[in-house]
Amino acid sequence: MTHTSREYAEALYALGAEEGKTEEYISALALVSESLRENPGFLNLLASPAISREERMDTLSRAFEGRIPLSMLVLMRLMVYRGHARELLRMTDSFQDLVRENRGESVAQVFSAVELTAQERERLKEKLEKRFGRKMILECSVDPSLMGGIRVETEGRVLDGTLKARLQEMKEVMDS
């Protein structure tokens, strides 16, 4: 996340809160984010200096007008106008971070050797919420390079319960 994307996200968040439309903004930004991630060529077009600024802003308007709040579209057009089109995706991510922060939530990236069951996910979520004192949103993925166990990354911390980490700990104890 860049400082620029965070500033745009903060401005949009403040505007959404002021208008009482935070939830509407969350949905609209999900649409924007999905559109940009599925069509990287569109983002390249919006950032291209070979295309006039006005044409890029008009293209953005045609893509989203009537589908997202006008104030959000105006902010996105401003980003394109100022040459910050490449910050659009980071801005949507920064906005989601602000929403989570204000709700007292954190995201935990969970990596495991095999897919976790719903019951395992729920137990892990409860333990993490108890440990960190806030609601946790788990984003689980399978990492085939892990031999066993799980690794959790959240709030700048890594909790490594993988087999590799445990073997390394045993090795260090035996070497000392």
Reply yes or no on whether the pLDDT at 106 is more than 90.
no
Cα–Cα distance, 131 to 97 (Å, whole number): 20
Query: How many CA atoms does the CB half-sphere of 34 hold within 13 Å?
Result: 7
Cα–Cα distance, 117 to 140 (Å, whole number): 11
Is the model's pTM score more than 0.75? no
Reply yes or no on whether the pLDDT at 1 is more than 60.
no
pLDDT digits (tens, 9 = 90+) for 24-81: 999 999 999 999 999 999 999 999 999 999 999 999 999 999 999 999 999 999 999 9
Ranking 16-25, 123-132, 155-164 by mean pLDDT, the lowest is: 155-164
What domains lie within the chain, and their CATH numbers? 3-100 (1.10.520.20), 105-175 (3.40.30)
Instruction: Give the angle 150-89-29 at the CA atoms, nearest 5°.
Output: 95
Count of Cβ atoms closer than 10 Å to residue 157 Cβ: 11
Ranking 5-9, 75-79, 103-107 by mean pLDDT, the lowest is: 103-107
pLDDT digits (tens, 9 = 90+) for 84-93: 999 999 999 9
For range 89-113, the mean pLDDT: 90
175 vs 64, higher pLDDT: 64
Kindly state the tokens that stand for 52.
């006039």
Cα–Cα distance, 32 to 66 (Å, whole number): 13
Is the Cβ–Cβ distance between 43 and 60 less than 8 Å? no
| pLDDT value for 176 | 77
